[in-house]
Amino acid sequence: MIYLDTHVVVWLYGGLLERFTPAGLSRLEAEELLVSPMVVLELEFLREVGRLKVPASTLVEGLSGSIGLQVCSLPFHHVVLEALLQNWTRDPFDRLIVGHARARGAPLLTKDARIRKHYGQAVWA
């Protein structure tokens, strides 16, 4: 299982596979793909500010059907307890996305260098 950061979901939906490393593509093909519900919220925020044209629900449902993407259903309280430990960022999206992966002890696929610096299981290459 591997969690996906928001930009990873956007790139997958857009078919922008050239943005991924070969190792990242291998992980996407081999692993169960999960996102935090916070990714869904961030996608909708991006649509509201004009950076995405597709509603979050359409994007997530499309990837669910095409690649089996699932929204994680861990209890929110468990995720928040892990997010509280992510004091290296003031970004609530990043705190909860990383907190979600940490709560499961799972890797997070992200190109974000700051997340990779602070979350030992964050991967890109």
Do residues 42 and 51 make contact, with C-beta atoms less than 8 angstroms apart?
no
Each residue's pLDDT tens digit, 83-95: 999 999 999 999 9
pTM: 0.96
Q: How far is CA 88 from the centre of its chain?
A: 18
Residue 33's domain comprises 2-123
pLDDT classification of 1: cutoffs 50, 70, 90: very high
Instruction: For tokens 């930009």, name the residue.
Output: 7
Q: What is the pLDDT of residues 92-112, one digit of tens each?
A: 999 999 999 999 999 999 999
Residue 115 has pLDDT above 90, yes or no: yes
* Burial label, 33 (beta-carbon count in 10 A; 0-12, 13-18, 19+): buried
HSE, CB side, 13 Å, CA atoms: give it for residue 15. Answer: 1
Query: How many structural domains comprise the chain?
Result: 1
Query: Model confidence over 3-60: pLDDT tens digits?
Result: 999 999 999 999 999 999 999 999 999 999 999 999 999 999 999 999 999 999 999 9
- The domain spanning residue 95 has which CATH number? 3.40.50.1010
Rounded to whole angstroms, how far apart are CA atoms 121 and 98? 10
